[in-house]
Amino acid sequence: MKLQVIKKDGSREDFNPDKIARVVAAAGLATDQSRELAERITQWFQSQRKTQITTLEIRNKVIEELSKVDRFAANAFTWYEKTKDGD
What confidence tens digit (pLDDT) does each residue in 45-83 have?
999 999 999 999 999 999 999 999 998 898 888 888 888
Tens digits of residue pLDDT in 6-49 = 999 999 999 999 999 999 999 999 999 999 999 999 999 999 99
pTM score, whole prediction: 0.86
pLDDT class of 86 with cuts at 50, 70, 90: low
> CA 32 → CA 10, 25, 45, distances in Å?
32, 9, 20
pLDDT at 38: 97
DSSP state of 6: E
